[in-house]
């Protein structure tokens, strides 16, 4: 009797184990199906957000071009949205945006590249671990702080040397934007140079090259795709900058190439209109979206160009 009861208990326990195993498998299969679906939904959030932004910009821009001819918008050199006879030429904004971005890259390009060369080729591991985080602190400073720094510190210095410079001008914010994007150029360029195999440097040294010759004749050409991509991304960052130019460059919509004068960029115009008294549904209100769409196309082209360059000139080791 005892053996029969023990056999029954063992049979029941085996069945329970089988049932538990089946339930575990079902739960595991459910989790395996649920996790990819959840991750897919999270991935779709960014895609749907992008499509939502594009749809909003495009639909409102179309409404603007129903009121203002597209040729007048892209070829006009006068922007007077609040006058009795308003004109909506975007060229003054594009001109101010490009000039400020060029000034920024004239500052950030050489300094960022030289900083990357030092960190990659000359600095010891200990120095690199200290300097690189300190350099990247610049990227963490709020842009509004940079804006007041440009207006209250850099501009007075420039005017003390060059008295003809206006109180608000495009030169000062351009310089400060360059300082702001130095970490981006330096970090990306340093990563590109650090990825060059050590054997290429050793080969150059074996042929009698000095460290400087090895850097400029071997390492930089080998890392050229990453360096160019960092420059293009830096320009893209400068084009999209808002607070620095809003505070320090003024709101004059001048179509000029004189960097001592006040100019307005596309981002500054968007801030001005969005924070002003433009009633919803008015032409000036829709001009905000037309300028924003133009800015979106600019930054999109810059990012596509950076991807093309990095693929076109990438070296495989």
Same domain, 90 and 238: yes
At 238 the three-state DSSP class reads helix
Residues 53, 179, single domain; the answer is no
Asked if the model's pLDDT at residue 10 lies above 60, the reply is: no
In a domain, 72, yes or no: no
58-113 pLDDT tens trace: 999 999 998 989 998 998 888 888 788 888 999 999 999 999 999 999 999 999 99
Considering the chain, what is the average pLDDT of its residues? 85
Query: What is the per-residue DSSP string for 19-44?
Result: HHHHHHHHHHHHHHHHHHHHHHHHHH
pTM: 0.83
95 and 50 assigned to the same domain: no
- pLDDT of residue 161 exceeding 70, the answer is yes
- pLDDT recorded at residue 127: 85
DSSP line for 242-285: -HHHHHHS-S-------TTS----HHHHHHHHHTTTPPTTSHHH
The predicted structure's pLDDT at residue 41: 85
- Read off the CATH number of the domain in which 268 is found: 1.10.3720.10
Last residue of a domain, one of 41, 67, 93: 67
* Range of weakest confidence among 21-25, 100-104, 196-200: 21-25
Query: The domain containing residue 55 runs over which residues?
Result: 2-67
In this structure, the answer to whether residues 98 and 7 fall within a common structural domain is no
Region 49-56: what's the mean pLDDT? Answer: 88
Q: In the predicted model, is pLDDT for residue 239 greater than 70?
A: yes
Is residue 280 located within the same domain as residue 157?
Answer: yes
User: At 139, is the pLDDT very low, low, confident or very high (cuts 50, 70, 90)?
Assistant: confident
Same domain, yes or no, for 173 and 248?
A: yes
């Amino acid at each position: 009797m005892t053996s029969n009861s023990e056999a029954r208990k063992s049979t029941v326990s085996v069945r329970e184990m089988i049932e538990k195993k089946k339930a575990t498998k079902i739960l595991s299969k459910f989790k395996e199906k649920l996790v990819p679906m959840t991750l897919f939904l999270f991935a779709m959030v960014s895609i749907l957000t992008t499509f939502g932004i594009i749809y909003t910009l495009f639909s409102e821009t179309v409404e603007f071009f129903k009121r203002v001819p597209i040729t007048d918008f892209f070829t006009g050199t006068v922007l007077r949205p609040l006058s009795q006879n308003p004109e909506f030429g975007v060229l003054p904004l594009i001109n101010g945006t490009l000039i400020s971005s060029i000034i920024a890259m004239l500052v950030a390009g050489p300094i960022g590249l030289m900083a990357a060369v030092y960190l990659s080729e000359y600095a010891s591991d200990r120095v690199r671990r200290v300097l690189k985080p300190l350099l990247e602190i610049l990227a963490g400073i709020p842009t509004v702080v940079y804006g007041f720094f440009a207006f209250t510190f850099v501009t007075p210095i420039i005017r003390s040397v060059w008295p003809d410079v206006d109180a608000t001008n495009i030169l000062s914010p351009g310089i400060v934007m360059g300082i702001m994007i130095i970490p981006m150029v330096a970090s990306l360029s340093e990563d590109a140079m650090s990825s060059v195999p050590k054997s290429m440097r050793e080969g150059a040294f074996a042929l009698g090259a000095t460290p400087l010759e090895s850097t400029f004749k071997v390492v930089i050409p080998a890392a050229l795709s990453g360096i160019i991509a960092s420059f293009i991304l830096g320009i893209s960052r400068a084009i999209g900058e808002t607070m620095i130019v809003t505070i320090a460059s003024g709101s004059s919509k001048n179509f000029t190439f004189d960097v001592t004068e006040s100019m307005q960029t596309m981002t500054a115009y968007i801030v001005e209109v969005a924070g002003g008294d433009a009633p919803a549904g008015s032409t000036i209100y829709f001009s905000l979206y037309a300028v924003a769409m133009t800015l979106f196309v600019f930054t999109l082209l810059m990012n596509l160009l950076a991807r093309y360059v990095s693929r076109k000139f990438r070296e495989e080791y």
